[in-house]
A and B are shown apart, each in its own frame.
Chain A
C-alpha cells in the first residue's frame, strides 16, 4: 500500500520543518555521518496529517546500545524541534540506506 499524498503541501509548514531541522544540523547534532534529510508530506495510516523525515545513514549490522540511544535522542530532538516551530502534523522519523 502506497502512502496517500496530501492534496496540498503546505509551503509554510515545509519551510518551518526545514528551518527546524537546519537548526539541529547547524548545531552539529546529527550523528553518524548524517548530513542531510528528506521531507515527505502525507496522511498516516489513520488519515491524520503527517510528515516523514528520512535520514540517509550507513547501515550498521550491529549497532551498540549507545548508538541506538543516540539515534533515539535524535528522533526525539527532531520531533520536539518541529513542534517548537509550530508544525501540527505528526513527525515520523526514519533512517534509510545512504546510497
Chain B
C-alpha cells in the first residue's frame, strides 16, 4: 500500500490534467485541495513516526489525529519562534516547506469555499508544483535536528504557548 501523501500528490496532478482542453472547476478545485492535503499528511505522517516506535501503529494513528490545521499554520508562519530550539543556520528547505504549507492551506480554503474565484490550470499546476517541491525539500532535511523540532512544534506549540 502506498503512502497517503504520495497518493494525494499523484491525485492532484491527475485531477489538474484530467480534462485536457477545458478543465472543470470541480477538478481544478479538488486538485488544489489534494495538493494541500498531500503536504499536510506528509508532515503528519512524519510527525507520528518521529514520536512512536515503528511497531506502535495504533499509537501513531492516534497521535496523528491530534494535529490541528490552524495550529500548524501558526507554527509555519512563525518559524523564528523556534530558533531557541533549533540549530543555525535554518535550512532553506525547511523555510520552504513551512511557506508552502501556509500558501496551500489558504489556497485549499479558496478552492473549497470561495465561489468568487475562477481557477485556471496554470495557477493550479503551479500550486501542485509547490507541493512537489515541498516533498523534495522535506526529503532532503527530514532527518535533521531542526526537522524534528519543527515536527514537535507542529503538534505541541499551541500547548507550549499556554505555559
Q: Which A residues lie at the B interface, using CB under 8 A?
A: 1-3, 44-46, 48, 50, 57-63, 65, 68-69, 71-72, 75-76, 79, 90, 92-97
For chain B, residues 50 to 94, give those with C-beta under 8 angstroms from any C-beta of chain A: 70, 73-74, 77
Determine the distance from Cα of A50 to Cα of B125 in the docked complex, in whole angstroms. 23
**Chain B residues with a Cβ closer than 8 Å to the other chain, count:** 30
Min distance, Cβ A58 to any Cβ of chain B, angstroms: 8
Q: Which of B77, B96, B114, B126 contacts A3 (CB 8 A)?
A: B114
Q: Which of B17, B77, B106, B117 contacts A45 (CB 8 A)?
A: B106
Q: Which B residues lie at the A interface, using CB under 8 A?
A: 17, 20-21, 70, 73-74, 77, 96, 99, 102-103, 105-107, 109, 113-118, 120-123, 125-126, 129-130, 133
Q: Which residues of A contact B73 (CB under 8 A)?
A: 46
Q: Is the CB of B122 within 8 A of A57?
A: yes
Q: Is the CB of A72 within 8 A of B126?
A: yes
Q: Is the CB of B102 within 8 A of A90?
A: yes
- Chain B binding surface SS class: helix
Q: Which residues of B contact A45 (CB under 8 A)?
A: 105-106, 109
Determine the distance from Cα of A51 to Cα of B42 in the docked complex, in whole angstroms. 27
Min distance, Cβ A93 to any Cβ of chain B, angstroms: 8
Query: Which A-B residue pairs are the 6 nearest by beta carbons?
Result: A1-B113, A45-B109, A95-B123, A68-B129, A59-B120, A71-B126
Given contacts A59-B120, A60-B121, A72-B129, contact A50 B106 (CB under 8 A): yes
Q: Which residues of B contact A48 (CB under 8 A)?
A: 77
Determine the distance from Cα of A76 to Cα of B122 in the docked complex, in whole angstroms. 16
Given contacts A46-B73, A79-B99, contact A95 B113 (CB under 8 A): no
Min distance, Cβ B100 to any Cβ of chain A, angstroms: 9
Some 7 contacts from A to B, beta carbons below 8 A apart, are A1-B114, A1-B115, A45-B105, A46-B73, A68-B125, A71-B126, A95-B122
